[in-house]
Amino acid sequence: MNAIAIDEGARSARRRSRPALSSETMILLACAWFVLACNGPFWAAVQRAQASTALAVSLGVAMFALHAFLIGLCAWGRAVRPLLAVLLVTTAFATWYMDRFAVVFDADMMRSIVQTDPAETRELLSPSLILHVLLQGALPAAALWLVTPRQLPWRRQLKRRLLFLVATLALAVGALLPVSQGVFGLMRGDPLLRYRITPGNFVVSGARALAQGDAKAALGPKRPIATDAIQVPTAATRRPRLLVLVVGETVRGDHWGLNGYARQTTPALAARADLVNFPDVSACGTSTAVSLPCMFSPRGRAHYDRAAIAGEASVLDVLANLGISVLWRDNQAGCKGVCDGVETQAMSSADDPALCHDGRCLDEILLRGLAERIQAAPGDQLIVLHMLGNHGPNYFERYPAADEHFTPTCRTAELSRCGREEIANAYDNALLYTDAVLDQLIELLAAERERDIAMLYVSDHGESLGEYGLYLHGAPYRVAPRAQLHVPMVLWMSPAFSANSRIDTACVREVARKPTSHDHLFSTLLGVFDVKTSAYDPERDLFAACRDSPEAV
C-alpha cells in the first residue's frame, strides 16, 4: 500500500512540475508547427510565383489561423492531445509524398489511398520515410505529453473556446482581406496551390470523399443498366466468340514502342503484322480508382459522374446477364467494384515460386491455366486480364531480374533520389516485359481453334516520370499532364474473328488513326458480342463503321 502511495505521489509531483497548457495553446503550437515545418511544397510554390513578402506573410498567418479555427471547432476536452498527435503523424506522411512525388491530395487521391492494398503500402514505405515521420510527426506528437493539459470548469472552457474561434476566424479574414487580389492571382496561376496546404488538404479532401457517399454506393445493390439488352445472334447459331480484354497498368502512350518512342519497348508486338495499334487514346482518369469504373460504364468521361458510376452495374453485368461467360482475372488490387457479381480470380495471391514473391506476382501469372479455362467454358466469353503492368514506384520489380535490358535502373521507391534516365530505364524494362506477356498471350490465343478470338489491350492511365517535378499518377483530371492521360491501346484479331464478325481490318486501321478514348470500350464490348440495346452508341464502337461495308469509314 505504502509503495503504491509513494508511487502515486511521485507521479503527481512529476505532473505538477510539467508546464500546464490550455488546449487552445496546444492547438496554436501545433498549427505553428504545421505552417513553419510541414508546408515546404506550398512555400516553394509561393516562392516560384514570386509572391511579395507581404503576401507570403499574410498567407502564413491565414493558414495558421484557419487551421487553428478548424481544429478548435473539432477537438474538445481530452480528445485534443490524441487528435493533434494523429494529425501531426499523418501530416508527416502527407508531406513526404507531396515532397517526393508531388502527390496532390484531392478527393480522388483520398479514395485511391483507402483502396490501396497491403503490397502497395509495403512498396511505398522506406527507411527514410520512417525517419522523416519520426522527426516531423512522432517527435512533436510525443512533446505534447511533456505538458499537462489545463482543466477548466466547462462553462469557462466553453467561453474560452468560443472566444478562440472568433479570434482565429477574425485573424484569418483580417490577414486575407487586404491581399485578396494577390491571393486570387496566385490561385489562378497555380490551380493546385490549395492542395499544397497541409494538413488542410487531406482533411478537407477526405471529408469530401466521405460526403460524396462512396460507402453508400458500395453497400447498396447496384442499379442495373441497359435492361433492354438482347443478343442477336447468339453463340447457339454462330461460332462462339472470345474477347480477351487486357487492362494495362500505368503505361504511358509516349513510351510505347509502337507509338514511335525513340526506344523499341514493344519489339515482339511490332514484329506482328496482324496488330492494329491505336496511337492516340485518352484515359478516363489518372488513377485506377477513377479509370476502371469509368471504362466499363456507359457514361465514360463524356458524362462522367463518379457517384452515379459507383452506384451502377457495369457492362460486365450486361454481358453476364445475357449468358456470356465473363471472367475477371486480377493481378493487382482488385477491380474497383467493376466485377461485382461476375466470376473473379485473384492471381496476385497465387502460389507460384517462379513468378510470385512477397505478395506480388509477375504478369505472366495471368496466363497460367488460361488455355484450360477458355476450353472449359462453352459459348461466348469475355475474359478481362488486369495486369500489374508498370505499377510504381518500384518499376524494377515489375519484370524478371534476368530481363533487365536498359541499365542502369532506379532501384528504390524514392524516385526523386534517382536520375531521370535511371527511372526511365526501369520503367521501359517493365514495358518490355508487358510486350513479352502480350506476345505470349496472342500466341496462346492463336492456338485456340474453336472460337473467333480478339485481344484488346489498353492501359488504365499513364504515369509521370519526373516531368515538372511530378512522379507517379493521380493528378486532378483537369490539370493532369498528358503523360498521365495518354495511354497505349492495341488490337489483335484472329483471321476467323474478323471474317466471321465481318470486320475489315484495313478499315479498323483507319479508325485507329483518329483520337479514341476509354469511352469507346462500353459500346465496342457490346458490339463484339452482337448485343442490341438503347445504351449502345455506334459512334463509340471501334468496329461499327467497319462491319459489312469496308468503304464506309
Q: Which of residues 113-132 bind Zn ion (CB under 5 A)?
A: none
**Only segment of 53-61, 286-294, 333-341, 447-455 that touches Zn ion (CB under 5 A):** 286-294
# binding residues, Zn ion (CB under 5 A): 3
Cβ closest to Zn ion, residue 67 vs residue 336: 336
Cβ closest to Zn ion, residue 249 vs residue 397: 249
Q: Are 24 and 164 in contact (CB under 8 A)?
A: yes
Q: Which of residues 141-180 bind Zn ion (CB under 5 A)?
A: none
Give dist(CA 142, CA 85) in Å, integer.
8
Distances (CA, A) of 127 to 133, 409, 410: 10, 20, 17
**Only segment of 114-122, 280-288, 440-448, 535-543 that touches Zn ion (CB under 5 A):** 280-288
Q: Are 195 and 34 in contact (CB under 8 A)?
A: no
- Report the half-sphere exposure of 112 (CA within 13 A, side-chain side): 22
Cβ closest to Zn ion, residue 249 vs residue 504: 249
**Bridge partners, residue 231, by sequence:** 531
425 near Zn ion, rule: CB under 5 A: no
Distances (CA, A) of 542 to 281, 492, 528: 12, 13, 10
CB of 291 to Zn ion, least distance (A): 6
Cβ closest to Zn ion, residue 250 vs residue 429: 250
Q: Are 552 and 545 in contact (CB under 8 A)?
A: yes
What angle do helix axes 40-48 and 80-101 make, rounded to 10 degrees?
50
CB of 252 to Zn ion, least distance (A): 11
Q: Which of residues 443-472 bind Zn ion (CB under 5 A)?
A: 460
Cβ closest to Zn ion, residue 247 vs residue 322: 247
**Only segment of 281-289, 352-360, 368-376, 421-429 that touches Zn ion (CB under 5 A):** 281-289
Cβ closest to Zn ion, residue 106 vs residue 452: 106
CB of 401 to Zn ion, least distance (A): 24
Give dist(CA 112, CA 332) in Å, integer.
13
- String marking each residue 245-264 x if it binds Zn ion according to CB under 5 A: ----x---------------
Give dist(CA 509, CA 231) in Å, integer.
27
CB of 389 to Zn ion, least distance (A): 8
CB of 115 to Zn ion, least distance (A): 11
Cβ closest to Zn ion, residue 294 vs residue 491: 294
**Only segment of 95-103, 283-291, 427-435, 485-493 that touches Zn ion (CB under 5 A):** 283-291
348 near Zn ion, rule: CB under 5 A: no
Cβ closest to Zn ion, residue 464 vs residue 494: 464
Distances (CA, A) of 248 to 269, 331, 477, 540: 15, 10, 19, 20
Question: Which cell numbers in the block locate residue 212?
Answer: 460524396
Cβ closest to Zn ion, residue 428 vs residue 460: 460
Nearest alpha carbon to residue 384 among 251, 509, 249: 249
- 457 Cα distance to chain centroid: 19
Q: Which of residues 213-232 bind Zn ion (CB under 5 A)?
A: none
Give dist(CA 194, CA 105) in Å, integer.
10
Distances (CA, A) of 340 to 224, 311, 328, 366, 517: 12, 12, 10, 19, 24
Cβ closest to Zn ion, residue 106 vs residue 460: 460
CB of 461 to Zn ion, least distance (A): 5
Cβ closest to Zn ion, residue 21 vs residue 283: 283
CB of 149 to Zn ion, least distance (A): 45
Cβ closest to Zn ion, residue 244 vs residue 289: 289
Give dist(CA 136, CA 88) in Å, integer.
8
Q: Are 512 and 214 in contact (CB under 8 A)?
A: no
Question: Which cell numbers in the block locate residue 450?
Answer: 474453336
CB atoms within 10 A of CB 341: 14
CB of 460 to Zn ion, least distance (A): 4
CB of 251 to Zn ion, least distance (A): 9
Q: Which residue is nearest to Zn ion (CB)?
A: 288
Q: Are 444 and 370 in contact (CB under 8 A)?
A: yes
- Cα-flanking dihedrals φ and ψ of residue 432, to 5°? -55, -35
CB of 125 to Zn ion, least distance (A): 20
Cβ closest to Zn ion, residue 288 vs residue 484: 288
**Only segment of 91-99, 241-249, 346-354, 501-509 that touches Zn ion (CB under 5 A):** 241-249
Give dist(CA 321, CA 48) in Å, integer.
55
**Only segment of 66-74, 282-290, 368-376, 541-549 that touches Zn ion (CB under 5 A):** 282-290
CB of 290 to Zn ion, least distance (A): 9
**Bridge partners, residue 149, by sequence:** 21
Nearest alpha carbon to residue 91 among 48, 36, 143: 36
CB of 388 to Zn ion, least distance (A): 10
288 near Zn ion, rule: CB under 5 A: yes
**Bridge partners, residue 454, by sequence:** 243, 493
CB of 363 to Zn ion, least distance (A): 14
Give dist(CA 333, CA 139) in Å, integer.
33
Give dist(CA 396, CA 430) in Å, integer.
7
Interface residue list for Zn ion (CB under 5 A): 249, 288, 460
